[in-house]
Each structure stands twice: as C-alpha cells, then as structure tokens.
Amino acid sequence: MISFMRPFRWKELFQQIYFVANRSLAIILFCVCFAAIVIILESSFHMKLIIQNDSMVPGFASILILRELAAVVMSLLLASRVGAGYASEVGTMKITEQIDALKMLGIDPINYLVVPRFLACILGSIMLTVIANITCLLAAAFVSHFYLGYTTGLFLSSMHRFAHFRDILFAMIKGACFGGVIPLVACYFGFHCESGAEGVGKATTNTVVVASIAIIVIDFILSYTLSYLY
C-alpha cells in the first residue's frame, strides 16, 4: 500500500518527472506521428473502398486519436521504457540488499522508492498525453493536406464537428491511470526480484508484459465507463 508520509522527496520527484516525461518525449512523438499517419491512410483507403468518399476521414481520425490512439501508444511505450527501467533499478537494489539497508535505517522503502515514481509517472503521463495528442493531430492534418487534399482549415472544421474538449480531458484521465499502473507493477516485480542477473531480467520482462496487459484492460474499462458521459 502506498503511503504519502513525510518527508516528501521533492528533488527525487522532479528528477523522476524529467526521466519519465523529457527523456521519453522524442521516442513517443516519433512513434505517435507514424501511428497517426497510418490511421489517416488506412481510413481513407477503406472509406474510398466502401463508400467511395473519404471526406469524413479527418473527423473520424481526430476522434480516434483523441480518445484512444495517442494515450494508449504513449502508455505502452512508457511501459517498455520507464517500467523496464524501474524494475531493473529496484530489482538491483533488492538483490544487493540496499532495500534491507533502508529498512534497517528506519526508512520506509515504499515511501522512499515507490511514491516519487508513482507521482512522477502520473504527472508525466498527463503531460505526455496532451503533447502526444497535439502531435498526432498535427501529423494527421499534414498528411490530410498533402495526401488527401484537405486543407488545414477543412481538417480543423471537420475535427470541430466530431471532437469536443471533453475528449482531451478523458484522454488525460486515461493517461493518468495508465501512468499510475506502470510504477506499481515495476516496483512490485522489483521488490520480489530473485537473486542474480537472471532474476533482474525476469523482473524486467514481467513488468513490461504485465504493465502492457494492464494498460489494455484499463483502457477497455475506462472507454466503456466514459462512453456513458459522451
């Protein structure tokens, strides 16, 4: 159970936010841009194939990006990068008995290790969700302009008809939930890491797999729940 007890490690919190958000930004933006491009191209192809018209592609793509694509892709990348890093870090501390040393000094390992990472992942994921959504929409507008022939104004007009401000708010809620589960899973496997390099590798692998599954399941639950609010 996470305990928010004094003293708060503000320096560690800001360092972890930097690790989660800033150090992950480039790879996330790179991947979500290509994901948005694929969505535009595939949507256009299939709409032309079925209804011989792709005029609704910008609106549908905007909804898909805001409600699902950006937050989920961002979180899965964080699970791979941040989750694996946390699991290996905490696992190494476990097998080298550094966690036992913290207990002997009267320091709660949960409050010392988990809380800063938990808060940093939540805050970092919210920021990355907003940035990823904006980047996805820009990439989608760019492709729509040069491949489909829709101007930026037409793209924004179509997006305005289909998407709403609450979509970005719901995306931020999803991002926060996804971000919160990553350090919890990583620290759990880190605290239960077996001895040796094989144990650290196993903890890291389990973290990426379980965190990714948890993100997909949480996404389904949140999408189903939030659908009643549209």
The single residue listed with the structure tokens 């995306």 is 171
The secondary structure of residue 66, as a DSSP letter, is I
Neighbours of 109 (CB within 10 A): 18
> For the whole model, what pTM was predicted?
0.87
Residue 144 is given by DSSP the state I
Alpha helices for the chain (secondary structure H): 10-17, 23-51, 57-64, 70-78, 84-95, 98-104, 109, 115-143, 152-162, 165-191, 196-226
Please, is 228 exposed, middle or buried when counting C-beta atoms within 10 Å of its C-beta (0-12, 13-18, 19+)?
A: exposed
pLDDT at 1: 44
pLDDT mean for each 10 residues of the chain (230 residues): 57 86 87 86 76 72 84 91 90 86 84 89 93 89 79 77 83 92 93 84 92 94 83
Instruction: Please give the Cα distance from 186 to 94 (Å, whole number).
Output: 13
Question: Residue 102, SS3?
Answer: helix
**How far is Cα 38 from Cα 183, in angstroms, rounded to an integer?**
30
Domain boundaries, the chain: 10-225
Pick from 222, 218, 193: nearest CA to 84: 193
Q: Which DSSP symbol is given to 192?
A: T
The pLDDT of residue 104: 86
Residue 134 DSSP one-character state: H
pLDDT at 8: 64
Residue-level pLDDT at 78: 92
Rg (alpha carbons) of the chain, rounded to whole number? 20
Torsion of CA 204, 205, 206, 210, to 10 degrees: 110
Nearest-angstrom CA–CA distance, 62 and 81? 27
Q: At what angle do helices 23-51 and 115-143 cross, to 10 degrees?
A: 40
Q: What pLDDT is recorded for position 62?
A: 83
- Phi and psi angles of residue 163, each rounded to the nearest 5 degrees, phi first: -100, 155
